[in-house]
Amino acid sequence: MDLRKIKKLMELLEESGIAEIEVKEGEESIKLSRNISSTTNMQVPQIIQQPTQASQPPTNQQASDIGTNADDNLKKDKRNTVNSPMVGTFYASASPESKPFVTIGQSVKKGDTLCILEAMKMMNQVQAESDGKIVEILVDNAEPVEFDQPLFVLE
């Protein structure tokens, strides 16, 4: 490697502020590094806490809202989602002419077929993992789905 190239690399290293540079040219290679002093001044951001007003106890309306939210959360806890085991296309029935495997409000048992997912020209049945009632169908027929995307809500 030419001495002028090495000097130019040294200048670039110094001007740029980087700590290390390595250049390979054919079978030749050169690695230049420099020590950067750790005495650089770093500005530490300051956190200023604003005074807050004293918290007030919730009013009756706020308390009733809290109770309603707790009831909703309990209902949601009892709901399970059936997620897609793969990327593919969602089909609600075996063929376009046949009726869907499940409908909203229908009770299902563990192992019942809920839908078919087509992936790479293979038809894969998605089965219920537990007993329950179909509360919501989250995907439209012939719609593409992602891995672990919720398909159904069971209660």
Q: What's the pLDDT at 136?
A: 95
Global pTM value = 0.52
**Nearest Cα to Cα of residue 134 among 120, 152, 119:** 152
Q: What's the pLDDT at 106?
A: 96
Which residues are CB-contacts of 151 (< 8 A; sequence separation ≥ 6)? 81, 82, 83, 84, 90, 114, 115, 126, 137, 138, 139, 145
Q: What does each C-alpha distance from 7 to 4, 22, 120 come to in angstroms?
A: 5, 14, 58
Task: Walk along the chain (155 residues) and give the pLDDT tens digit of each residue.
Answer: 678 888 887 887 777 777 777 888 888 888 877 776 544 444 544 444 445 555 555 555 555 555 555 455 544 555 789 999 999 999 999 999 999 999 999 999 999 999 999 998 899 999 999 999 999 999 999 999 999 999 999 99
What domains lie within the chain, and their CATH numbers? 3-33 (no CATH), 76-154 (2.40.50.100)
